[in-house]
Each structure stands twice: as structure tokens, then as C-alpha cells.
């Protein structure tokens, strides 16, 4: 009976040691994986920002014919409002 208890104790200690080793491996790979994921995300943001800076003017020029009627209407409204207001009086600078 004592032999069985010693054997169970040894097996239990080996089991706990193996689970501790597994936990350390799992923790190590989780930390390394999260760092790799963080770096990949930052690189993706950098690449996305550079592509946005490069493609935004091209996209704006491509959509210009679609937006031209609205721009013309806004320009006409601005001209009419400016013409009906007259000259605006700006306050003169006074010496202190």
C-alpha cells in the first residue's frame, strides 16, 4: 500500500511538472504570438496609410466628374449670396 502511495505521489509530481512545462510553453507562445500580431497590425496600418495617401488624390480626380454638378450649384449659390450682400465692412485697425 505504501508503494502504491509513493508511486501515485511520483506520478502526480511528474504530472504537475509536465503541466507546468506545458503552461510555460503556452504562455511563451502566447506572448510571442501577440507581439508578432501587434507588429503585423502596425505594419498593416502603415501600409494602409501610405496607400491611402497615394490613392486618395487619384480617387478624388476620378470622382470629380460625378461631383461637378454639385460643385457648380454650390458656386452659383455662393456667387448669388455674395452679390446680394454687397461690400462687407471690415473693422479698421486702431492704434492703441
Report the share of the chain in percent with pLDDT over 70.
Answer: 89
The rounded distance, in Å, linking the Cα atoms of 17 and 57 is 61
Question: Pick from 20, 79, 16, 55: which is nearest to 71 by CA?
Answer: 79
Q: Where are the domains of the chain?
A: 1-83
Residue 56 confidence class, pLDDT cut points 50, 70, 90:
very high
Q: Tens digits of per-residue pLDDT, 23-44? A: 999 999 999 999 999 999 999 9
Lowest mean pLDDT among 21-25, 33-37, 47-51, 89-93: 89-93
The rounded distance, in Å, linking the Cα atoms of 26 and 28 is 5
The three grid cell numbers given for residue 11, joined into one nine-digit string = 506520478
Instruction: Report the chain's terminal Cα–Cα distance, integer Å.
Output: 106
Amino acid at each position: 500500500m505504501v508503494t502504491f502511495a509513493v508511486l501515485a505521489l511520483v506520478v502526480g509530481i511528474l504530472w504537475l511538472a509536465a503541466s507546468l512545462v506545458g503552461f510555460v510553453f503556452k504562455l511563451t507562445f502566447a506572448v510571442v504570438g501577440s507581439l508578432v500580431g501587434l507588429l503585423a497590425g502596425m505594419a498593416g496600418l502603415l501600409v494602409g496609410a501610405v496607400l491611402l495617401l497615394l490613392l486618395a488624390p487619384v480617387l478624388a480626380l476620378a470622382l470629380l466628374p460625378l461631383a461637378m454638378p454639385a460643385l457648380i450649384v454650390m458656386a452659383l449659390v455662393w456667387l448669388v449670396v455674395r452679390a446680394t450682400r454687397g461690400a462687407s465692412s471690415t473693422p479698421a485697425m486702431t492704434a492703441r
